[in-house]
A and B are shown apart, each in its own frame.
Chain A
Amino acid sequence: KQEVTQIPAALSVPEGENLVLNCSFTDSAIYNLQWFRQDPGKGLTSLLLIQSSQREQTSGRLNASLDKSSGRSTLYIAASQPGDSATYLCAVPTLDSWGKLQFGAGTQVVVTP
Chain B
Amino acid sequence: DAGVIQSPRHEVTEMGQEVTLRCKPISGHDYLFWYRQTMMRGLELLIYFNNNVPIDDSGMPEDRFSAKMPNASFSTLKIQPSEPRDSAVYFCASSRTSGGAWEQFFGPGTRLTVL
- Measured CB to CB, the residues of A under 8 A from B are 31-32, 34, 36, 41-46, 49, 51, 89, 91, 93, 97-101, 103, 105-106
Contacting pair A97 B42 (CB below 8 A): no
With contacts A36-B106, A99-B102 known, what are 11 further pairs, Cβ within 8 A? A32-B101, A42-B109, A43-B91, A43-B106, A43-B109, A45-B106, A46-B106, A89-B43, A97-B58, A99-B55, A103-B43
- For B56, list chain A residues within 8 Å (CB): 97, 99-100
> With A43-B91, A44-B91, A49-B101 as given contacts, are A101 and B45 in contact (CB-CB < 8 Å)?
yes
Those of B94-115 within 8 Å (CB) of chain A: 95, 100-109, 111
- Measured CB to CB, the residues of B under 8 A from A are 4, 31, 33, 42-43, 45, 48, 50, 55-56, 58, 91, 93, 95, 100-109, 111
**B84 CB → nearest A CB, Å:** 20
Q: Specify which of A46, A51, A93, A100 is in contact with B105 (CB 8 Å cutoff).
A: A46
Kindly count the residue-residue contacts between A and B in the assembled complex, taking CB atoms under 8 Å apart: 52
- For A99, list chain B residues within 8 Å (CB): 31, 33, 48, 50, 55-56, 95, 102
Is the contact region of chain B dominated by helix, strand, or loop, or is it mixed? strand
**Bound Cα distance from A100 to B33, whole angstroms:** 9
- For A100, list chain B residues within 8 Å (CB): 45, 48, 56
